[in-house]
Structure 1
Amino acid sequence: MKKLFYILTVFAGFAGASLQAQTVSPDGIAYSDLQVEKQGSQVTMSTVANLNNLQLKSQNMVILTPLLQSADKAHVIRFNPFVITGRARMKALDREIGFGNNPFEQEPVVVFRHKKNQAESIPVTLTTPYESWMRNASLVMEANTTGCASCDVASNITPLSSRILPPLVTPTYELSYVVPPAEPVKQRSETHSAYLNFEVGKSVLLHDFKNNAAELSSVNKIVNEVRNDKNLKFTEFNITGYASPEGGYDYNMKLSENRAKAFATYMKDKENLPASLLKVNWEGEDWIGLRHAIKESNLADRDKILEILNISDINKRKAQLRALNGGRTYRMLLDDYYPSLRRIDYTLAYIARPFDVNEAKQVIKTKPQYLSLNEMFLVANTYPKESPEFKEVFDIAVRLYPTDPVAQQNTAALEIERGATDAGIKRLEAINTPEAWNNLGVAYAKKKEYQQALEYFTKASNAGVEAATQNKNALSQWLDEQ
C-alpha cells in the first residue's frame, strides 16, 4: 500500500434536496448540508463533516464509515471510510505503511490530520447504483476511535438521514372529457304504436269498437303532450300502417294503406292536426316484426319457424308455416303473435328550443330527451366530478345517445375515474379519437400495464392532446425512478 497523504476532494455543484440542517455526533463532529440526488441509475449523497469541535488526542484516530442500510437491515452498503488522526498517530501510520502494513479493512477516501483549534471540515461524497430498497433506506455515520497500538477507545453511530429518498408517489393522470359540439337545431322524434281494431275486411276507424277508445285516448295524450309543450315546435306526424301476414299479400298491402289513411283522417278531423303535419305510409305484412318476436321467444320449434321465415318466396313461406306441426304452430301464431302485427306506428317529430344551464338542470330531471349532449355536458360540469349528480348526467347521456362517440367517451372517462377500468376500456376500444387514446392510456396505467399505457399516451400526444403529453411525461419519469 502506498503512503497515505493528506488528501481533500472538494465537492461542488451538487444539486439535490437538503435533508437536514446539522447533526452532531457524540465525538463533536457536526454533519451539515446533507443532500441526496438520484440521476438515472445512480444515487449521490453529500455532506460536510465539520471538525471544529472535535477533541482528538494526538495518538488517537477516528475512522468514519458511512453506512446506507434498509429499514430491516437486510441491505447494507459500507462505503470507504474517512480517517482523521492526531499528530502522533499520523506519524505512526506513516511508519506502519512504510513497512508495508495495511491497517485498514477498506481503503480510506482520505486520511486527514486533525489540528486543534483550527477551522476544519471534510466534504463527503458518496455514490452508489440505485436499488429499489434505497427508497426507505437510512444513512448513518459509524465512528470508531482507536488509540495507540490500534486499541479501541470509543465507537458511536450518528444518524444522518432516516430516509434518503422520498417515497415514490404514483402519478395522477388527466382524463379527457370532450365538450360535445352545440346542436344548432335540436330535431327530435319519438315513435309509438296504436293497436286499433277494425271490423273484418274493413278500414273504417270506429272510436268505440273493442279497445279503440283506450288506444285513441293514449294517442291523444301523447300528441297533446308534445303540441302543448311551449319548449317544442311540432313539425311532423308520420303514420305507418302494418298488417299481419295471413291472407293474400296484395290484399294486406291495401288493407294497411287504407287503415293508415283512416287513422290519418281521424287525427286530422278529431284531433285537429294540420294536414301539413301528416305523412302517411304503409308496409303491408309485417314480416320483420314477426321474425323479431319469434327470435326473442322460447318456442319449441323456434328455429324451424325462423328457417321458414327466411324463405324468399312469400307464398311458399306462408304455405310452410300453415303446414308446420300439423297446423298447430300456425294456429298458435294466429292467436299469440299475429294480433300485435296489426298496428299503426306513429312518429312525432319536433324541435326543442335551446336551454341555458339553469333551465337544463331542471329539464334533465323530467324531459332529458329535449337536451343536446352539449347542454347535458354543461349541466354535468356544475357538479363535482365525484358527486352522484355528475355520474347521473353521463348515465342519462349515454342512455339517450347510445351510439354517439362523445357520449360513450365521456362515460368511459367517468368509469375509469371511478375504478370501472375494464368497462371504460370496452367502451373506448370502439372509438378512434386522440382523446379516446389518452383515456385508454390512463386505463392501462391504472391496470399497471405501463408499456401499453405509454403507447396510447404517445399516440394521443402526437395527435396534439396536451393531457396525453403530461400523462406520458409523468409515467415515464415515474418508471425511470423505479
Structure 2
Amino acid sequence: SVLINGAEKQKVYQRTLALSAGKRNGKARTSPIPAVVIRDDAAVSRAFTYKVSIPYEEWMEQAVLLLRSQECACHGRKGDIYEDKIADGLRLPKLRTSPWDAGTDVGFLSLVNFIRPAPDKDTLHCITGSIPYFDREEGREDGKQLGELSEEKQNFEIYYRLRDALRDVRRETGTELAKVRVTGYGAPMGNLKKNETNALIRALKLKEYLRENRLSGKALLEVDWIPEDWDSITSLVRGSDMMLKDATLDLIDNVEISKGRERMLMSLADGKPYRYLSEKIFPAVMRVDYRIEYTRKPLGAAESLQLLRNGKQRALRLNEFFAVAGSYPAGSTEYNDVLDLAARLFPDSPEANINAAAVALTKRDTKRARQYLERFATLPMA
C-alpha cells in the first residue's frame, strides 16, 4: 500500500514508528507496513515509480485492475473509499504461430551477423530555457509582463515556469534529477554597487522561495544573478540598426563600468542612443535563464517496448531499440521492423545502419543493403 499523510498525521506516524521501535522482542509487527509513505503537500507535485510483481494465472487475462483509495475518518468526517479502473483486460504477448517475416530467407539469416553497440551508461542530459522579463509575444492572462510584477509574484511565476520544464523530465522513465541552475540577468539602471547588492539579495530570495517549494527535491539548486549583463547588451547593439551604433559600441568596449561607462553613454549625442538602449535593449536583456541537468538509466526490453507502443520511439536510445528487437526471434516481422526503424532514427550510427543492411540481406534485397553500408564501407564490422 501507499500511505499519504497530512502534516499532523505525518507527525503521528513518525512518533508511532519511534515508540514502537525495539518492541515485541524483535518479532515482526502484526499490522502491514506501507511500501511508500508520503507527506502530502498541495503546493508540490511529485511522482514515484511503484512496481508489484505477482505470479500469472490464466484468469488474469480477462481481469480488471483497480486503484483503491481509502480516506482516513478524521475530525468526525466519514472516510470514503474510491475505486478507479486503471486497466481493463491485460495485454499479454501472444505466441506467434510463425516467427518468420514473409520476406525473410532462412538460409541467408544464418549467413549474416547482427551487432550490438557498447552498453549505455547513466549519461548526463540537460534542458535549457529562458524566461524573459518583457516579451511582446507572450504575457500572462492578466496582460502583465513578468517585469511588471512584484518580486513575490515574480518568484511565483518563475517557480511555475521551472516546474513545467521539470515535469517532462520527471515523467520520463529512469531519470534522476542532478542539478537545477538558475541565472538572472539585469540591466544597468543607476548605481553599480547598489545594483550588485540588489542582485545578491534577489538571488538569495529566489533560491529560498524555490527551496521552500521543493522545486529540485534532493538535487543541487544553484541561483545566481548578474546585475548588469553588458555581454548581451553588446551583442544586441551589434545586431541592431540604432543611431551611432559604432560610437556606442566603442564606449562600451573601451570605458570600464566603474569609470563612468553609463554616464558617458548618457552624454553621447544628447542622450539619444542611451534612450534607445533604455527602451529597446535593456528590457530585452532582463531575463532568467535555467539549465536542468539529469541522468537517465538505460531501460529494459519491456519498458522500451512500452514506449515504442505508445509512439514515444524518439525517447529511446539505440541500445534500447536493440533490446526490443532482441525480445523477438531473429527474422521475425517485429525484429526486422524495429531494426529498420532504428536506422531511420539514428542515421549516423554504424551499428544501426549495418543491422538494417543485415535485415535487407536476409530478404535478398542487395540494393537496399548497399545503401545502408556504403557510408560505413571502411569499417571491418560492415
Per the normalisation by structure 2, the TM-score is 0.46
Structure with the largest fraction of helix: 2
Structure with the largest fraction of strand: 1
Larger RCO, structure (CA 8 Å, separation 6 or more): 2
